[in-house]
A and B are shown apart, each in its own frame.
Chain A
Amino acid sequence: MPGNFVVSVSPHLRAPMDTARAMRLVVLSLLPTALASAYRFGPHSVGVMVTAVMACVLTEGWCNRLFGKPLTITDGSAVVTGLLFAFTLPPTTPFWMVAVGGFLAILVVKELFGGLGFNIFNPALAARAILLASWPVALTTWMKPVNSLVSLDAVTTATQLSLLKEAHRAAVAVPQTYGYLDLLLGNVPGSLGETCKITLLAGAVVLLAYKVIDWRIPLSFIGAVALLSLPFGRDPLAAVLSGGVILGACFMATDLVTSPSTRNGKLIFGAGCGLLTSLTRSYGGFPEGVCYSILFMNCLTPLIDKYVQPRTFGARKQEARAS
């Protein structure tokens, strides 16, 4: 009989899902959208995605070395950040800009805060916000879908939301230029990963099935946008299918590190994102509000986690919550 045994504290079993596996599933769930994007926007789109992922992974590897930490690029989170960052950009974004964005996303927004698990802001969205502030023209130049994997044409055009914003400023009405089917299938201009709603939703279903993301944030985010579209005078279905709501609600707001960890906290977070998105779209300076609304709610996540706690089983009702 052997005499040397491993001794550790219970439990002695672990569920198969861990961070690395979750990240791989996220990448898998984003691939249909990436492929759709390559078809809708051509080689520009592919170039942006590749540049973004490479910039993020290389930057993280460099940071690990610089800070004397073990290599973390194998956990897959840098790949996810790169891909999601690419998804927020116009397909015609110059590659050097994409590289700068990827570099800043990882170095400044993630690693300088402590790396995985310690960042306050969603790195992909924060990098997009930095780029938008630095190079506003490039980040708001949209191309018409080319529907070809090889075409390098890039005809600029306006998105539905930018048309709505201009019309609002000019106090005129504007017709719905893109139909529901086009919006659903991504035959519209927009950020390279936000347009094809059907592949995004399919990916989200995969993540929900594997319990990588919780249904509460997507539901409350999308629900809030749909509900608030009515008093704000917009068509609910178009509101949900336009811009970055589906991408943001399913893949950005659900970022594990930067969203609340409690059930009710997630509902509040999603609703807050939806509210701010709708307000920005209808009354704010930007045509689209998803990016900033999520970043704003990211700031509130620690507060939400502090004050929105589940009820302990057996707690006395008048007992004060943990403060």
Chain B
Amino acid sequence: MTVLRTFRGGVHPPDHKDQTAGKAIERVALPARVFIPLAQHLGVPCEPVVKVGDEVAEGQLIGDAKAAVSSPVHASIPGIVAAIEEHPHPAAPFPVRAIVIERRNDVAPLAWDGRADWSARSPRDLLAAIRAAGVVGLGGAAFPTHIKLAPPPPAKVDTLIVNGVECEPYLTSDHRLMLERPLEVVEGIRIMLRVLDLRQAYIGIEANKPDAIEVMQRHAADPALWGGASVQVVPLKVKYPQGAEKQLIGAITGRAVPSGGLPFQIGVVVQNVGTAVAICDAVVRGKPLIERVVTVAGSVVKEPRNLAVRIGTPFSQVLECAGGLVATDQPLKVIMGGPMMGLAQHTLAVPVVKGTSGILVLEERQVPKALPCVKCGSCVDICPMGLMPNRLAYFSSRGDFAECEVHHVRDCIECGACTYVCFSRLPIVHLVKYAKASLVKPKKT
């Protein structure tokens, strides 16, 4: 019996994946109206390149930015630009400018079944295609992929890790992608290897997905699929947050990302499995990022399932495709993402954006009441970054942000493991976010 690789610390929340792990990804009918925010990625927001009244085709470029760290946005449905206005955004506390497109019912959706040969394309060319398709990290961070795949010199990348861990409870979109579209995963990895000038990649998968491990291992073992490249499947111990980038790198390579640094500084690039599929779609089918798999789950969702949703579809409509909500008199919480790091929403009008891995609707029986810290040390014991969350919470609650910095608050990945185990139900992540925000020096205006 092999000992599975893992990282120091971590917690074991109940995974609730049985709600949707066995449900194949379903396509839904195109929405009548989409709201495409001009900021769906880390970096500079886009500017619209269309105006109100313009007719747009499915996949047409509608927003772009000249800045290096940015990613264009595209029309996810064929239609007419009805408005360019501020609209609620699931990842922002204020409305964000978005392009509203009304569908044209007489235009059929595209099949995107082209097959382009990329074997002669240079890495630079492939990166341009990835950028043009608006591909960003689909694991949740939404960092522009073409930037991540081209680390600045003098960085020397020797390892590519594909993240198939999906450690958040409830979420199963990556799991289903590995089961249903393994050939696209393979091709996406091959393209990434070509861009990075590497021959081998790793793909990390948590041991609670034995079927996905088996499928990927089978494909990894078939040399005909790889054209000289290869991937090693690494099963990992089931523990949250194994899918966090630093913990994944540590478990697979034993390397530690330096404090304040980025993975490329130790020779590693990590990409989500969904991003690999999006890269394949972009390069092989010429399909920009206009759709993504969203796990819709939670005790309040009538029919939890995995859906292929067009970017810009309002959450309310996605939930209708999952049978709507169960009637209950308990207060509800709507979460974009997983329950450990996801963002609670105040309205169902927010659209699905590039980083929307899941939509959960849970009953919030009781907002936990915080008691004073009893110094149990549970948070210290499980912190995957080796911090002292109890001290961070203490200093932050007293406004002593300088002391927070001394205690490495900037190294906190906000995974929520500490808050999950806290005996006193302290809002540690909240206090950490508050401390980090307070440490940001205000820009001179």
Contact = CB atoms under 8 A, between A and B. Distances in A.
Contact of B246 (A260, A309, A314): A314
Contact of A6 (B333, B341, B347): B333
B224 interface: no
Contacts of A258: 375
Contact of B371 (A5, A15, A19, A309): A19
Given A312-B411, A314-B257, A322-B406, A10 B373 contact: no
A116 B371 CA distance: 9
A133 interface: no
Given A6-B332, A6-B367, A117-B424, A315 B408 contact: yes
A11 B419 contact: yes
B122 interface: no
B385 A313 contact: yes
B343 interface: yes
B342 A19 contact: no
B408 A261 contact: no
Contacts of A18: 368, 422-425
Residue among A3, A258, A322 with most chain B CB within 10 A: A322
A318 interface: no
Contacts of B386: 310-313, 315
Contacts of A13: 13, 169, 339-340, 420
Contact of B258 (A2, A6, A259, A314): A314
Nearest to A22: B423
A170 interface: no
A322 B423 contact: no
Contacts of A259: 375
Contacts of B423: 17-19, 22, 256
B304 to A, nearest CB: 16
B416 A309 contact: no
B435 to A, nearest CB: 13
A178 interface: no
B331 to A, nearest CB: 5
B50 interface: no
Interface residues of A, number: 48
A75 B414 CA distance: 28
Contact of A312 (B13, B259, B372): B259
A257 B340 contact: no
- Describe A's contact surface by its main secondary structure: loop
A9 interface: yes
Contacts of B407: 322
Interface string A3-31: 11111111111110111001000000000
B364 A6 contact: yes
B377 to A, nearest CB: 3
Contacts of A12: 333, 335, 339-340, 342, 344, 362, 364
Contacts of A214: 377, 381
Interface in B415-445: 416-417, 419-425, 427, 429-430, 433
A316 interface: yes
B400 to A, nearest CB: 12
Given A5-B346, A10-B416, A261 B380 contact: yes
A316 B325 CA distance: 50
Contacts of B348: 1, 3
Interface residues of B, number: 71
A259 B375 CA distance: 8
Interface in B365-411: 367-368, 371-381, 383-388, 390-391, 406-408, 411
A184 to B, nearest CB: 30
A313 B246 contact: yes
Contact of A263 (B332, B335, B381, B433): B381
Interface centre among A1, A13, A263, A313 (most CB of B within 10 A): A313
B261 interface: yes
A10 B169 contact: no
B319 A15 contact: no
Interface in A63-115: 75, 114-115
A17 B384 CA distance: 20
A102 B281 CA distance: 71
Contacts of B27: none
A29 B384 CA distance: 31
A257 B423 CA distance: 12
Contacts of A17: 421, 423
Contacts of B316: 1
A116 B332 CA distance: 32
Contacts of A311: 386
Interface string B202-237: 000000000000000000000000000000000000
A319 B429 CA distance: 25
B149 interface: no
B388 A14 contact: no
B428 to A, nearest CB: 9
A6 B344 contact: yes
Given A261-B390, A266-B377, A312 B345 contact: no
B334 interface: yes
A286 interface: no
A262 B386 CA distance: 10
A312 B257 CA distance: 11
Nearest to A118: B372
A288 B425 CA distance: 38
26 contacts: A1-B316, A3-B348, A5-B344, A6-B364, A9-B430, A11-B339, A11-B419, A12-B335, A13-B13, A17-B421, A257-B374, A258-B375, A260-B375, A261-B375, A261-B376, A261-B377, A262-B388, A312-B408, A312-B411, A313-B250, A313-B384, A314-B246, A314-B261, A315-B259, A319-B259, A322-B408
3 tightest A-B CB contacts, nearest first: A11-B416, A261-B377, A117-B372
Given A10-B414, A261-B388, 19 more contacts: A2-B332, A3-B348, A5-B331, A6-B367, A7-B344, A8-B367, A10-B340, A10-B344, A11-B416, A12-B364, A13-B420, A18-B423, A19-B371, A256-B375, A256-B423, A261-B390, A314-B259, A315-B386, A315-B411
Interface of B: 8, 11, 13, 169, 246, 250, 256-259, 261, 316, 319, 324-325, 331-335, 339-348, 362, 364, 367-368, 371-381, 383-388, 390-391, 406-408, 411, 414, 416-417, 419-425, 427, 429-430, 433
